Structure 1
Amino acid sequence: MSRLDSMLRRLTAQRDGLNWAAAQIEAMDGDVLDLGLGNGRTYDHLREILPSRRIWVMDRVLQCHPNSTPPAEDFLQGEAEPMLLKLAEAGHTIALAHYDFGRGIKSDDVAEAARLSPLVKQVMCPGGLLISGQPLVGFTPIQGPETIAPDRYLFYRA
């Protein structure tokens, strides 16, 4: 599969997974957390499909498209560990988290996801959903939408 086809497959899975998860958490209380802002495409989609939810966004730097910039009070800039602890200590609970940290080196990205999983777990509502491109630990794997290949995106319940 070409890198272009792989990227299209990933983006389609991401969109379909987020749409599916948004419907799943409709009756659940809690905020949304986008771990890894990047260009801001996912954040932009989340605010469109979940307009009444507070969407926290976390990244090392703010370098997204100007139309996808989160409000300053919802953007947690810096390393993930202290930012996740800040959310937990403030008592914020997350109904839906999208984990999209990574630098593109699979072994490093998998190790980072495993290391951050316990901190992500601290902020999740019981029964909350996580969508991730990397395997997370300490969560219950669940079946996402049937349109998404099991190896393309991962779905978990807290």
Structure 2
Amino acid sequence: MSRLESFRRRLSAQIDGLNWAATEIAGVDGDVLELGLGNGRTYDHLRQELPDRDIWVVDRLLQCHPSCIPPEEFFVQGEALDVLPALAARGVRIALAHYDFGYGVKEKDVAEGTALSPLIAPLMVPGGLVVSQQPLVGLKQVRGPDTIDPERYLFYRA
């Protein structure tokens, strides 16, 4: 499979997974957390699918498309190792988290997901979901939509 085909598969899985998760949390109170803004495409999709929820965004840099800049009060710039405990201390409660951090080097990405997992879990409300392209620890893995290869995207319930 070419890298372009793999990219298409990833985007399809991401859309299907986020749409499924948005439906799954319909009765769950809490905000949304986008971990990794990048160019803002996923954030834009979350705004569209969950217009009545506050969406917190964490990233090292703000370098997204101008139409996808989050409101200042919901963008937290910095290293997730520092930012996530600060959000928990502020009482932020998350119903849906999308974990989209990554360097593109599998071993490094898995290590980062393992390190950040214990910082994500305290933010999650009971019944909340984490959608992730990296394996996480300490959360209960669940099956996502049938359209997604379980190895492509991962789903966890708090």
Band of TM-score, shorter chain: over 0.9
Taking the aligned partners of 1:63 and 1:85, their CA distance within structure 2 comes to 23
1:26-58: CA deviation from partner (whole Å, max 9, x where unpaired): 111000000000000000000000000000000
Which residue pairs with 2:41 in the alignment?
41
Which consecutive residues of structure 2, in runs of 5 or more, have no partner in the other structure?
none
**Structure 2 letter corresponding to 1:41:** R
Q: CA deviation at 1:81?
A: 1.4
> Given the two structures, how large is their TM-score scaled by the length of structure 2?
0.99
1:96-116: CA deviation from partner (whole Å, max 9, x where unpaired): 000010110110000000000
Taking the aligned partners of 1:94 and 1:31, their CA distance within structure 2 comes to 5
Moved over 3 A (4+): none
Are residue 17 (structure 1) and residue 17 (structure 2) matched? yes
Which residue pairs with 1:98 in the alignment?
98
Taking the aligned partners of 2:3 and 2:104, their CA distance within structure 1 comes to 13
Q: CA deviation at 1:72?
A: 0.6
Taking the aligned partners of 1:114 and 1:56, their CA distance within structure 2 comes to 21
Which consecutive residues of structure 1, in runs of 5 or more, have no partner in the other structure?
none
Taking the aligned partners of 1:126 and 1:28, their CA distance within structure 2 comes to 8
**Structure 2 letter corresponding to 1:122:** P
Counterpart mapping for 1:135-154 below 5 A? 135-154=135-154
**Structure 2 letter corresponding to 1:109:** D
RMSD of equivalent CA atoms = 0.5
Which residue pairs with 1:126 in the alignment?
126
Taking the aligned partners of 1:14 and 1:142, their CA distance within structure 2 comes to 16
> Given the two structures, how large is their TM-score scaled by the length of structure 1?
0.99
Counterpart mapping for 1:45-64 below 5 A? 45-64=45-64
Q: CA deviation at 1:122?
A: 1.1
Q: CA deviation at 1:86?
A: 1.2
**Structure 2 letter corresponding to 1:82:** D
Paired residues, what number? 158
Q: Is the 2:97–2:130 Cα contact (8 Å) retained in structure 1? A: yes
Taking the aligned partners of 1:28 and 1:157, their CA distance within structure 2 comes to 12
Q: CA deviation at 1:127?
A: 1.6
**What is the aligned-residue identity percentage?**
65
Taking the aligned partners of 2:43 and 2:145, their CA distance within structure 1 comes to 20
